[in-house]
Structure 1
Amino acid sequence: CFRCASDPQPVLERDLRGCRVTYKAKHGKKMPHVLKVAGPAGDLLVIGFQSRQQAEDWRKV
Structure 2
Amino acid sequence: MFDSAFDALRSAQVNRFGVYADTSIRYRDLIAARDEIAAAIEAMKATDWPTNADYDAAEQ
State if a TM-score over 0.5 links the two structures.
Answer: no
- TM-score computed with the length of structure 1 as normaliser: 0.25
Q: Which has the higher strand share?
A: 1
- TM-score (ref. length: structure 2): 0.25
Please say which structure displays the higher CA radius of gyration.
2
Q: Using CA pairs below 8 Å that are at least 6 residues apart, which structure has the higher relative contact order? A: 2
